[in-house]
């Protein structure tokens, strides 16, 4: 077909002219959230970075939060053949999933905590924010799971919103602070400083319990932290 020929021409001739590298990573489900994480290593030709993304399912299987690493090639390293060799129906060999978490609800937003690269905060269709210690969370893998599969338990819940908090989400690059906006017309801020020496430093994955006000020593033990 003419459209296939035009696509192949664009892929083989134009993509290498426009990009130093071009990755195409095919997923079974669409993703609604994607974030770069910390740089893990670097050499003469490439650097390896963390990548976090979601898979939004139709609830016939669990919603997913995925931790991966990506080899990012530096400018003028890849040949034209390498840049144009991707296929729409294939996964990218330079993107390697290291952990799959079953998320309780759709992942609407992901934010990494810059001063603690292993910590993620997510928004779902809920007033609460979910905090994840990706170093200690169990890997659920890619085996087929049904809709009744138990989701991973977050390490900490950030509470305070009185209505849904679905999308506005930010983390400070200077301090372990998380900010969130919700339908309750509030912007709330939490400090994770105490939790980073407790549940978010290791031994997480639990649930239950209760915490105190932000910065007052609450939030340990995989419980809740109020704004």
pLDDT tens-digit series, residues 6-17: 888 888 888 988
Residue that the structure tokens 């020593």 belong to:
217
pLDDT tens-digit series, residues 50-96: 999 999 999 999 999 999 999 999 998 998 888 888 888 899 999 99
* CA–CA distances in Å: residue 147 to residues 84, 101, 105: 38, 14, 11
pTM of the model: 0.83
User: Residues 1-7: what's their mean pLDDT?
Assistant: 74
pLDDT band at 194 (very low <50, low <70, confident <90, very high): very high
Using the predicted structure, report yes or no on whether residue 19 has a pLDDT greater than 60: yes
Burial per residue of 156-172, b for 16 or more beta-carbon CB atoms within 10 angstroms, e otherwise: bbbbbbeebbbeebebe
36: its two tokens: 């770069």
Provide the 10 A C-beta neighbour count for residue 131.
Answer: 25
User: Please, are residues 179 and 188 in contact by the beta-carbon 8 Å criterion?
Assistant: yes
Q: Which residue has the higher pLDDT, 185 or 12?
A: 185
């Amino acid at each position: 077909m003419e459209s296939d020929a035009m696509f192949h021409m664009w892929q083989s001739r134009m993509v290498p002219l426009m990009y130093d590298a071009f990755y195409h990573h095919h997923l079974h489900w669409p993703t609604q959230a994607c974030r770069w994480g910390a740089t893990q290593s670097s050499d003469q030709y490439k650097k390896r970075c963390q990548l976090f993304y979601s898979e939004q399912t139709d609830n016939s299987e669990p919603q997913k939060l995925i931790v991966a690493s990506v080899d990012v090639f530096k400018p003028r390293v890849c040949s034209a053949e390498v840049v144009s060799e991707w296929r729409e129906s294939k996964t990218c060999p330079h993107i390697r999933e290291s952990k799959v978490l079953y998320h309780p609800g759709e992942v609407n937003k992901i934010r990494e905590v810059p001063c603690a690269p292993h910590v993620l905060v997510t928004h779902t269709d809920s007033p609460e924010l979910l905090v994840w210690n990706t170093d200690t969370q169990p890997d659920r893998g890619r085996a087929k799971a049904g809709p009744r599969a138990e989701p991973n338990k977050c390490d900490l819940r950030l509470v305070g919103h009185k209505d849904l908090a679905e999308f506005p989400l930010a983390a400070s690059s200077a301090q372990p602070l998380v900010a969130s906006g919700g339908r309750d017309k509030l912007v709330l801020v939490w400090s994770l400083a105490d939790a980073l020496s407790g549940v978010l430093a290791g031994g997480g994955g639990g649930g239950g319990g209760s915490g105190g006000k932000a910065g007052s020593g609450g939030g340990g033990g995989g419980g809740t932290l109020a704004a």
